[in-house]
Amino acid sequence: MQVPLQITFRHMSPSPAVEGHIRERVAQLEKFFPGIVACRVSVESSARQHRQGKLYHLRVALTVPNREIVVKRDPSEHHAHEDILVAVRDAFDATRRQLEDHIRRQRLDTKSHATPDHGRIASVFPDHAFIRTPAGDEVYMHRNSLVGGKFEALTVGDEVRFFSHEAEGEKGPQASTVERIGKHHLPPAKE
C-alpha cells in the first residue's frame, strides 16, 4: 500500500486486538489485490446503550486506481454488530465483494450467458423427439424439455431454440430448455 493504513476509534478506547484483526483483514485484501493505494478504517461505538450492549459502526474507505470503495456498516441495520469482531468481518467481506466487482469491471469481465442453439424438429415420438442442427447432427430431447408449448403440438420441421448438455445421454447429445419458435427463421435444412 502506498499510504499507510489509518485506523480511527471514536467514542471508545483504541483496542490492540481489534486493530490487529483489522490489519489482518487489510493484509488479506492486499494479497488479493496488490494495487491498493490506501485504506482508512473508522470504528465507532454507539453513544447510546442498548439492552444487550453497544453497537459498532464501521466505515472502510479503500482507495484503488480509478476508484474509492467505501463500505459503511450501520448499527441500526445490523444488530449482530454488538460484537465488534463480527462488525469488522462483515465490513471487510462487503469491501472484498466491491473490490471483486471493481476488478471485473477493470478487466471488462461480464457475465456471459450461453446462446441457445437452433435447429428443426427431425422426428417426433410419443415421449421424445430429435432436433436436427444446421450442421446436420441430431440432438435428443425429452418431452419435458419443451417450454412454453404442448409437446403434442410439435411437428417435423418446427424451428426450435435449445441448450445442449455437455454430457451425452443414451441416445446421444441431449437438449434442454427447448422452445418452439416457428418455421420461418432458419434456412431449409440440408439433407
Please, are residues 145 and 178 in contact by the beta-carbon 8 Å criterion? Answer: yes
CATH code for residues 6-106: 3.30.160.100
pLDDT for 79 beyond 60:
no
The pLDDT value recorded for residue 4 is: 93
pLDDT digits (tens, 9 = 90+) for 115-159: 788 999 999 999 999 999 998 889 999 998 898 788 999 999 999
Please, are residues 133 and 117 in contact by the beta-carbon 8 Å criterion? Answer: yes
- Greater confidence (164 vs 81) lies with 164
Q: What are the sequence ranges of the domains in the chain? A: 6-106, 117-182
Q: How far is CA 24 from the centre of its chain?
A: 26
pLDDT for 169 beyond 80:
no
> 175 φ, ψ to 5°?
-105, 150
- For the residues 154-175, what does the mean pLDDT come to? 81
Nine cell digits for residue 184: 420461418
Rounded Cα–Cα distance for residues 103 and 80 (Å): 29
* DSSP 8-state class, residue 159: E
Q: Tell me the helices (H) and strands (E) count for the chain, helix number first.
A: 2, 10
Three-point CA angle 28, 91, 12, nearest 5°: 105
Please, are residues 62 and 36 in contact by the beta-carbon 8 Å criterion? Answer: yes
Q: In terms of DSSP H, where are the helices of 33-159?
A: 84-106
pLDDT for 99 beyond 80:
yes
HSE, side-chain direction, 13 A CA sphere, residue 9? 11
Q: In terms of DSSP H, where are the helices of the chain?
A: 16-32, 84-106
> Which fold is adopted by the domain 117-182?
OB fold (Dihydrolipoamide Acetyltransferase, E2P) (2.40.50)
Q: How far is CA 89 from the centre of its chain?
A: 20
Residues whose CB falls within 8 Å of the CB of residue 87, separated by 6 or more in sequence, listed in order: 43, 56, 57, 58, 73, 78, 80, 81
Please, are residues 67 and 101 in contact by the beta-carbon 8 Å criterion? Answer: no
Confidence band of 184 (pLDDT split at 50, 70, 90) = low
The pLDDT value recorded for residue 1 is: 84
Confidence band of 181 (pLDDT split at 50, 70, 90) = confident
- For the residues 157-184, what does the mean pLDDT come to? 79
